[in-house]
């Protein structure tokens, strides 16, 4: 299964992505986590050794080559097999997860990251076929909507639109939801994060019902998330499975893997 996680900046999608990837790994699954943000932070959420994030090798922009047939669809392909991509550019993370970094902004004034988005799109597509499909894929997407206009997540099976319980965050999630459906992603679901009380839960449910969004999970506000972030640690390492947020993310992972509610 290929899962993309998107939403407004600060909604908590990176924490959810890293925690979910590791919890899937603990279920005995082979998991690839892709950091699709040009300001990559997924390594920390996965618990990759502190300081390593600056040394991670990003997927190179020249990893694609045009096909000889000008009418080919898709027009390009990866230069090397996907298993070689994982071996060459993947970073081992806890619980057997393999981390790939799409690319990052190194210097000001160097232009857009169009090629990085294209490479990530083809890697996501090729991972479907890799090892007879026995790899689970979790993609932490860039904040906002641009990755959807570029079609980076076109080949995922499920897209989770993460939102905090306030209007602007929910509006961004709604736009993510709509654009993902335009891309032809069949399964798009809303995930509420940092929910403090019953009033916020009810407000989210009312918003979702009004706009035709299917709410798949409500992750509670959890002080352990903030403490882990301040300490520069993965939530799973800092709080373990006693964390209410971790427990709900684990439940969400189980729902996705089982196909329930989709």
Task: Give the pLDDT confidence score for residue 225 in this predicted structure.
Answer: 96
Residue 44 has pLDDT above 80, yes or no: yes
For 165-185, how does the pLDDT look when each residue is reduced to its tens digit (9 = 90+)?
999 999 988 988 888 888 788
Task: Give the pLDDT confidence score for residue 153 in this predicted structure.
Answer: 53
Average pLDDT, the chain: 81
Long-range contacts of 145-150 (CB under 8 A, 24+ apart): 145/172, 145/175, 145/176, 145/179, 147/6, 147/36, 147/117, 148/6, 148/176, 148/179, 148/180, 148/183, 149/179, 150/114, 150/117, 150/118, 150/121
Task: Give the pLDDT confidence score for residue 254 in this predicted structure.
Answer: 95
Query: Which one-letter DSSP state was computed for residue 31?
Result: E
Domains located in the chain, CATH noted: 2-258 (3.40.50.300)
Task: Give the pLDDT confidence score for residue 83 in this predicted structure.
Answer: 82
Residues above pLDDT 70, as percent of the chain: 74
pTM: 0.84
Q: Which token pair is 105?
A: 């902004």
């Amino acid at each position: 299964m290929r899962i993309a996680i998107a939403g407004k900046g600060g909604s908590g999608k990176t924490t959810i992505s890293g925690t979910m990837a590791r919890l899937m790994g603990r279920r005995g699954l082979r998991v690839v986590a892709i950091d699709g943000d040009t300001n990559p932070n997924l390594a920390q959420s996965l618990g990759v050794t502190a300081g390593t994030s600056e040394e991670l090798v990003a997927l190179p922009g020249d990893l694609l080559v045009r096909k000889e047939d000008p009418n080919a669809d898709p027009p390009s392909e990866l230069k090397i097999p996907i298993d070689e991509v994982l071996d060459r550019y993947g970073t081992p993370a806890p619980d057997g997860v393999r981390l790939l970094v799409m690319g990052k902004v190194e210097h000001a004034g160097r232009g857009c990251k169009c090629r990085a988005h294209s490479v990530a799109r083809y890697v996501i597509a090729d991972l479907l076929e890799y090892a007879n499909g026995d790899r689970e894929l979790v993609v932490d997407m860039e904040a906002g909507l641009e990755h959807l206009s570029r079609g980076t997540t076109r080949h995922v099976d499920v897209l989770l639109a993460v939102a905090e319980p306030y209007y602007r965050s929910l509006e961004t999630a709604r736009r993510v939801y709509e654009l993902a459906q335009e891309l032809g992603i069949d399964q798009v679901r809303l995930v509420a994060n940092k929910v403090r009380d019953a009033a916020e839960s009810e407000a989210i449910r009312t918003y979702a019902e009004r706009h035709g969004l299917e709410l798949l999970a409500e992750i509670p506000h959890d002080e352990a998330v903030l403490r882990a972030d301040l300490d520069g640690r993965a939530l799973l390492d800092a709080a373990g499975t006693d964390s209410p947020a971790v427990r709900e993310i684990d439940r969400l992972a189980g729902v996705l893997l089982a196909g329930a509610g989709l």
